[in-house]
Chain A
Amino acid sequence: MFIEKSMTRSVISVGPDAGLLEARELMNRHRIHQLPVVDRDNTLIGIVTDRDLLRAMPSGLLTEAEAQREPERLAQLTIGDIMSRNVITVSPMHTLEDALLLMERTPVGAFPVVDQQGKLIGIISVRDLMRAFINVLGIHEPGTLLCILAEDKLGTMKRIVDAISEERIAFGSVLVARHWEEGKRAVFPYLLSSNVAHVKRKLEKLGFQLLNPMDWYLDRLPKKD
């Protein structure tokens, strides 16, 4: 679960003296939206985003006189002039959960990963987290998802897992949506099989309620009075 295992190591970075066009070219070529800025020792000193670059290069809204001076102005600007210096970074020993929660509360799409000396060693983006989530869901393997409405009490999961395992069906994943009705959880077992009709009947016989797929949610919140 450590960032180190999921981050992109071959991170594209730029020096503070680089020009804006150079940076834009780099981002286009590698199809990236964030460009960490490092000094000669590879110490992270800032970050520029494609939005920073766009903001620094206004094009459509200029008067003719301004437009004529524009190439000269741009030529004098460096990445060091426009970069953000307050970079939110993570360490390689932070976890994916750290990055997920941090991303939820900041408007940032990627975090540079720096070691204890502040040197840039990688970057972790929304995309890397998505890949990890797809892996956790197990949906690259063929299977069938069920949704079981279950009592929120000790032993319920065991009964579900036992009932399915007895049928020799392997699990791709089991998700549990915590916020459901009072005292209930929605359990989503992803079964690596196409032959699940009999296990569904069995679960119903055991008293579990199988939810209609059109009523499935991952984030249904408890009703507030």
Chain B
Amino acid sequence: MKRTGLVFDDRYLLHDTGPDHPETSERLKVIFAGIEAAGLLPKLVLIPGRRVEEKWIRTVHAEGHIRRFEEACACGYAEYGHPDNRMCGESFDTALLAVGGVLQATQMVMEGKLDNAFCAVRPPGHHAEPNRAMGFCYFNNIAIAARYLQMQWGIARVGIVDFDVHHGNGTQAIFDGDPTVFYYSIHEHPTFAYPGTGREFERGSALGIGYTLNTPMLPGQGDQDYQEALERDLVPAFDVFKPEVILVSAGFDAHADDDMSYMNVSTEGFSWIMRLLMELADKYAKGRIISILEGGYCLQRLPELIVNHLKILLQAPDNH
């Protein structure tokens, strides 16, 4: 069995997005209750949130963005930059705690205290661009973790896999010209889904050409299509890139029961994806994989999805 960390903190519930908003604290409540009910808690190393030092936020985000977000929060505004990005007085601090939790888990994996980790954090991050919040995301958790791996641990090749049903425009933009971070995303085709980026021809720029890879999926596609696409696109790309650490933008909104998309991935389909990522991590990254919660809004399905996700992290399939 692997030593798996779980970043979780009651303070992640404090980011309040108000009524009629899918990115609610209920998501984490049902996730935690599900983990507890499945009896997984004793098997996991619990990692509380930690306020991140702002220098790490600045490795990805403009100072102006950080200050505007902080001010909007302090002034009691109900949204930051766009009506999608609702917030409350606690949102800025919660976002700092989310990044801090992710970096703490990453540090523990790099120190060898953990094999891998799942970060059940809010708010999510993959839409956040260097200078703006977008799509419920304020700070790009996964991008900051990648920079941390490079700067603190000298990791030369970070592989990011984003299976949230929406394209991670923020993460892609941050590493667009960077050949040291490979960004792979599989998502609903941008003509039919937010935010409208992540087309096949987006392959990175300048030195980063070839280090961004997008697989848009057609509405209605499901497990079989995802498996074929990942084996066709992701596996050969990572066979060449050989990531030293794998970071996962784990969004569960491609689930058939999630009304954020038209995709038809089943609960078992998500397990298959995660087992594939574990295999890739074992093959290239010494098993080092840090998974970070992005979307996933079906409150009925989230508990089983996350429990399965954690079970797979805890017990890597034996392929040797």
- Pick from A167, A194, A212, A214: contact of B194, CB below 8 A: A194
Bound complex: CA of A196 vs CA of B84, how far in Å?
10
Assuming the A-B contacts A142-B134, A143-B196, A214-B220, are A195 and B169 also in contact, with contact meaning beta carbons closer than 8 angstroms in the complex?
A: no
Q: Which residues of A contact B262 (CB under 8 A)?
A: 212-213
Interface mask (A160-199 → B, CB under 8 Å = 1, otherwise 0): 0000000111100000000000000000000011111110
User: Smallest distance from the beta carbon of B262 to chain A beta carbons, Å?
Assistant: 6
Contact yes or no, B192 A195, CB < 8 A: no
Q: Which residues of B contact A201 (CB under 8 A)?
A: 259
Q: Is the interface of A mostly helix, strand, loop or mixed?
A: loop
- Pick from A141, A142, A169, A195: contact of B22, CB below 8 A: A195
Tell yes or no: A87 within 8 A of B by CB.
no
Bound complex: CA of A88 vs CA of B169, how far in Å?
43
Bound complex: CA of A186 vs CA of B218, how far in Å?
20
Interchain Cβ contacts within 8 Å, total number: 61
Assuming the A-B contacts A194-B127, A194-B166, are A214 and B196 also in contact, with contact meaning beta carbons closer than 8 angstroms in the complex?
A: no
Tell yes or no: B21 within 8 A of A by CB.
yes
Bound complex: CA of A192 vs CA of B82, how far in Å?
9
Chain A residue at minimal CB-CB distance from B169: A142
Bound complex: CA of A194 vs CA of B135, how far in Å?
6
Tell yes or no: B318 within 8 A of A by CB.
no
Q: Which residues of A contact B83 (CB under 8 A)?
A: 168-170, 193, 195
Q: Which of B13-46 contact A (CB under 8 A)?
A: 20-22
Q: Which of A132-167 contact B (CB under 8 A)?
A: 139, 141-145, 167
Tell yes or no: B222 within 8 A of A by CB.
no
Q: Which of B183-226 contact A (CB under 8 A)?
A: 191-197, 218-220
Bound complex: CA of A57 vs CA of B75, how far in Å?
71
Q: Which of B163-193 contact A (CB under 8 A)?
A: 166, 169, 191-193
Contact yes or no, A195 B195, CB < 8 A: no
Contact yes or no, A145 B166, CB < 8 A: no
Bound complex: CA of A157 vs CA of B166, how far in Å?
28
- Pick from A167, A169, A194, A212: contact of B195, CB below 8 A: A194
Contact yes or no, A142 B196, CB < 8 A: yes
Interface size class of B (residues with CB under 8 A): 20 to 34
User: Smallest distance from the beta carbon of A212 to chain B beta carbons, Å?
Assistant: 7
Most buried by B among A139, A144, A193, A195: A195
Chain A residue at minimal CB-CB distance from B23: A195
Tell yes or no: B260 within 8 A of A by CB.
yes
User: Smallest distance from the beta carbon of B22 to chain A beta carbons, Å?
Assistant: 6
Bound complex: CA of A150 vs CA of B244, how far in Å?
53
Contact yes or no, B20 A198, CB < 8 A: yes
- Pick from A139, A167, A170: contact of B196, CB below 8 A: A139
Assuming the A-B contacts A142-B135, A193-B84, A195-B21, are A213 and B127 also in contact, with contact meaning beta carbons closer than 8 angstroms in the complex?
A: no
Q: Which of A75-133 contact B (CB under 8 A)?
A: none
Most buried by B among A143, A168, A194: A194
User: Smallest distance from the beta carbon of B53 to chain A beta carbons, Å?
Assistant: 30
Q: Which residues of B contact A195 (CB under 8 A)?
A: 20-22, 83-84, 136
* Known contacts A168-B83, A169-B83, then 17 further A-B pairs from the complex at CB < 8 Å, ordered by chain A residue: A139-B196, A142-B134, A142-B135, A144-B193, A144-B194, A193-B82, A193-B83, A195-B83, A195-B136, A196-B194, A197-B297, A198-B20, A200-B259, A201-B259, A212-B262, A213-B218, A213-B219
Taking beta carbons and an 8 Å cutoff, which residues of A are in contact with B? 139, 141-145, 167-170, 192-198, 200-201, 212-214
